[in-house]
Amino acid sequence: MVLAKRTKKAASKKTVKKAQKIKKKTTGKTAKAMPKAQATGKKESRTRTAMKKQARKASIKKAQKRPTAIQTEHSPYYFFGGGKADGDAFMRDLLGGKGAGLAEMSRARVPVPPGFTITTEVCRIYYENNLEIPAAIDRELETYVGKVEKLVGMKFGDSSNPLLISVRSGAKFSMPGMMDTVLNLGLNQDTLKGMAAKAGDERFAYDLYRRFVQMFGNVVLGIDKDKFESVIDAKKRERKIKQDSSLQVEDLSDIIKKFKAIIKRKTGEVFPDDPYIQLRMARDAVFRSWNNPRAISYRRLNNIPGDLGTAVNIQAMVYGNMGNTSGTGVGFTRNPATGEKEFYGEYLVNAQGEDVVAGVRTPQPISQLANEMPEVYRQLKSITTKLEKHYRDVQDFEFTVQEGKLYMLQTRTGKRTVQAALKIAVDMVKEKLISKHEAIMRIDPAQLDQLLHPRLDPDAEVNIIAKGLPASPGAASGAVYFTADAAVKAAKDGKAVILVRQETNPDDIEGMHAAVGILTSRGGMTSHAAVVARGMGKCCVAGCEMARVSEAKKQIQIGRLIIKEKEIITINGSTGEVMIGSVPTIEPELSGEFAEFMSWADEIRQLRVRTNADTPHDAAQARKFGAEGIGLCRTEHMFFAEDRLSIVQEMILADSTEERQDALDKLLPFQKKDFKGLFAEMNGLPVTIRTLDPPLHEFLPDRAAVTEEINKLDKTDERYDVLFAKKKKTLQRMEELKETNPMLGHRGCRLGIVFPEITEMQVRAIMEAACEMYKEKKRVIPEIMIPLVGHVNEFKNQKEVVERIANETIMKYRVKNLEYLIGTMIEIPRAAVTADEIAAEAQFFSFGTNDLTQMGMGFSRDDAGKFLRYYVDKGILPGDPFVSLDQDGIGRLVEMGTSRGREARPDLKVGICGEHGGDPDSIEFCHRVGLDYVSCSPFRVPIARLAAAQAAIKAKMKTAERDK
């Protein structure tokens, strides 16, 4: 399959200029032209050869004049094929995942169509160079095409023995469907005839040309694919046929003419015939696709840096659509949904690759290939098994069979659900393919969140109306919406959304992210919807062919049942079932591989993991997930309970210390009961309880509501005067408590200093609960935490109150050896700077990084949302500092506070209890600066445990690297 070498030739100066204009047009530039092909008809046939020679001479002169100052650090091109390759598996940064995989397979003598990779470095240069490839790099393109020609014995652009090529993207990190591909490139009226004669099948050649013009028009020229699909649909209606495969040569010829007419109408120019113009335009289009909206969205959602760029892989075409001995497919070496060790995938006979992933036809399970093409199946299974052992990870592969001969088109690390990832990691350790440390590093901690949420209640009554393929596990109920935009809008309005499509495409990425589940009527287990949903952790039912989806009518029809937009359905991505209405869910159970895997993480990590919990229910949930204590109990949350709020308000409205004390005495039994519940659930683990933190006005009713209640009072009611006076007093007290900036006002330790009886009541409730548990022979470790300390004297004041009441209570209960600690939250920058002074008095620190970030960066948590997204999008900040700790700024305050505190008290216990305690990047920072523990919400506890283990492994690897 290869060609004789061709001399370096290119397009005319005029044509190249127009190609560059089209390139700019499709990326938002101003020019509106595209490459102009030579005149059509008999005159074109007579003059084509002469015109091409003249054009190529002009192009070479132009190339010589172009600037060549931009240099690459590495070779711009890396060849692979014939059992050799310039690159290897370790060059993902430069070659992208796909290019590195193709190079490695070629080195292993796996049957790979030859080709070459244009590096990610060239992509970056392309953007730096005003969307142009420097001449010195561009000139080498034809040399590398010549290498492919030599190996396969065919010639690019030759009329009798034409080589066609594919142009595909390939970034370092897999971004399935987010960037662009062009297949069958190199076809024109001359090569079309040669292809037909060579294959002995005119329809095959016309089908290739139809696909090429359609794909080129959409990907390279930016024309909506629906414009082309509508032409095909109209032709099938005219011919009264349902399948594309039933279209005949004359049908395809007519479709191609209409496609070209659309292109002429939309761009003002005819379709380019010169293969090298096609190639250069396709190459540039793939580079541009790195920054298309869906790719940008995918990178943002998956935290992939935007400056990596994509490689471009140019490869000799092989054809899966040459009859019943040909086909194409995709697969995984293990089940990507469950992790079971089974050969998993799908294929289509007589089809090209995009047919499988696009969901145009529902494919067959790969096991069926053993019956249709047994020798191909045996060879495929043998190759992919070797690939998995070679890479020591699950492989996601693509293959094509051309007239009985197998070709591997891609191998890469397979995306998988977190359930599958855990099972695969545990199984591969047992198979001795990987170590426990490697297994730990293979799971993204944030993905564990997908395991910790509800599934359908097996005892619930369900009305199953249809069944598709179980493409991504989990279950969800929601209102159906039929477009990505509608799904995003509904989700912003607070609705649970099921996105329903015939098949999803990369442009649906934002809608898929907004939805709680995805349902498609077409496509298989490796369709776009399935792959992306699994990566996002969304449940998905794909290929539900019983469902007739109409975006125009905004409805699904299943038999006689019609479901309109906004109506509720439930989908079960683990079974493929679709149900009418909402179905209740139950909490997940964590056992098996999860428990074993997490036990490995616990063996490795050094950071302890606690939870933020205010109720026994939350504490029990956190213990189930492996929490090792409570790092933050917010006592104010207990005050908002219906049976307590009126007492709290009574305390706030009190006119004297005596009245306030009466109200506090009523609250004490409630607080004690709460604390006993927490101590019981923690069963001897430390419980850090923060004294009252928020300003008092937060416990009072809304001012407008009180005013309205006053206006509605019945003046004839005999209680009117009493009720009026009470509500007026409430308004008066609200006015007294009103603050311009309450977050920096009378809150935290300042409340306890001005109203020490509040601190006294809370400490008494804590210590009475502890003493009663202790007398029941149950171990308790209360840690009393004073919030919002900025000066050591504030802490001293409250410490005196705590010690006095604690000792009184211990004496009252006559208990001995009851341990308790007194510490503080470090959430004011001054506290971090003077941490040595505070540590001389405090036994522990807990960094409240929510407020520390707010005060340290000068960002109001309530208002920063108005501009933070803009800051992140514009690169002013790397991320939201309230989500992931600002390590260079706020992190330095944490590091300073820790080191200065331990200078004064070497045994100082230090933790973190803000939202950052559940963020993997922040946890790695906490490990690095030597904190003792992190504390996070119950459902983040497993994430923190794994992130802490990974932080320990990374630190060990860095130490080993440094010691080399």
Q: Which residue has the tokens 């409205």?
A: 653
| Cβ-based neighbour number of residue 233 at 10 Å | 11
Q: From CA 250, how far away is CA 272, in angstroms rounded?
A: 22
CA dihedral 574, 576, 578, 582 (to 10 degrees): 0
Q: Confirm if 286 and 310 have CB atoms less than 8 A apart.
A: yes
Closest Cα to residue 112, out of 413, 400, 374, 381?
400
| Cβ-based neighbour number of residue 559 at 10 Å | 10
Buried-state track 480-509, b at ≥16 Cβ within 10 A, e below 16: bbbbbebbbebbeeebebbbbbbbbbbebb
Report which residue type is found at 863. D
Report which residue type is found at 475. A
Q: From CA 886, how far away is CA 866, in angstroms rounded?
A: 19
Q: Is the dihedral of CA 696, 697, 702, 708 positive or negative?
A: positive
Q: Indicate if 513 belongs to the active site.
A: no
Beta bridge partners of 537: none
Q: Indicate if 771 belongs to the active site.
A: no
Q: From CA 667, how far away is CA 644, in angstroms rounded?
A: 7
- Helix, strand, coil fractions of the chain, as percent rounded to 5: 50, 15, 35
Compute the C-alpha angle 899/903/907, nearest 5°.
90
Closest Cα to residue 825, out of 881, 783, 888, 764?
783
DSSP code of residue 560 = T
Beta bridge partners of 547: 558
Extended strands (E) in 297-377: 310-316, 327-332, 344-349, 364-365
Query: Could you write out the three-class secondary structure of 779-846?
Result: CCEEEEEECCCCCHHHHHHHHHHHHHHHHHHHHHHCCCCCCCEEEEEECCHHHHHCHHHHHCCCCEEE
Q: Name 817's Cβ contacts closer than 8 Å, sequence gap at least 6.
A: none
Q: From CA 105, how far away is CA 387, in angstroms rounded?
A: 8
Catalytic-role residue among 528, 697, 916, 927? 528
Q: From CA 30, how far away is CA 868, in angstroms rounded?
A: 31
* Burial zone of 104 (CB within 10 Å; 0-12 exposed, 13-18 middle, 19+ buried): buried
Q: From CA 834, how far away is CA 789, in angstroms rounded?
A: 11
Catalytic-role residue among 123, 749, 913, 936? 913
CA dihedral 56, 62, 63, 68 (to 10 degrees): 180
Q: Name 956's Cβ contacts closer than 8 Å, sequence gap at least 6.
A: none
Q: Name 687's Cβ contacts closer than 8 Å, sequence gap at least 6.
A: 629, 630, 633, 675, 678, 679, 780, 781, 782, 783
Bridge pairing between strands 162-163 and 181-185: unpaired
| Cβ-based neighbour number of residue 52 at 10 Å | 19
What is the distance between the terminal CA atoms of the chain, rounded to a whole angstrom? 48
Phi then psi for residue 75, to 5 deg, are -60, 140
DSSP code of residue 40 = P
Closest Cα to residue 115, out of 82, 75, 79?
79
Residues labelled catalytic: 528, 913
